[in-house]
Amino acid sequence: MAEHHRSDRVAEAIREEVATFLAGDVKDPRVSGLVTVTACEVTRDLRHAKVFVSVMGTDKERAATFEGLASVATHLRSRVGRALSLRLAPEITFKPDESIARAARIEDLLAQIKEGQPSEPTASPAPPVPPVPPTDGEGNG
């Protein structure tokens, strides 16, 4: 049980270290725009870390940012290992976190509803379904 708590602490420390790095130390020009580290998951053996990030921008900018993040992952691995005094630094992979973009979309939809504007064209209602005749239980109508 204590090992589970350790992996949670290490995951949070990795999240903070990666966020600090992305806030000011990253030199890769592809990592641009608003990049937010939202979560980190670490395997129980602390060998792999999934860092979830939210990237605001166009699809092209997001793709470039993830390419840049993949290229700095090795540097981040050594930085995290030194900062956390880990014998083996975890291999870092970046995964997209769509929750912030999804929340912004929901906020937009709610604002449009409040203003009385439909957000998307609504389809015409489906035709009514005719009732099914009762059966006698043996498949005979």
Tens-digit pLDDT string for the chain (141 aa): 455 688 899 999 999 999 888 888 777 778 876 888 899 999 998 899 999 998 888 888 888 889 989 998 998 999 998 888 888 889 999 999 878 778 888 999 999 888 886 555 555 555 555 565 666 655 555
Which domains can be identified in the chain, with CATH numbers?
Answer: 2-115 (3.30.300.20)
**Which residues touch 8 (CB under 8 Å, ≥6 apart)?**
none
Q: Are 116 and 92 in contact (CB under 8 A)?
A: no
Q: Are 18 and 75 in contact (CB under 8 A)?
A: no
Is this model's pTM higher than 0.75 or not? no
* 4 closest CA partner among 38, 43, 39: 43
Integer Cα distance of 80 and 22 in angstroms: 13
CA distance from start to end of the chain: 62
Q: Are 100 and 54 in contact (CB under 8 A)?
A: yes
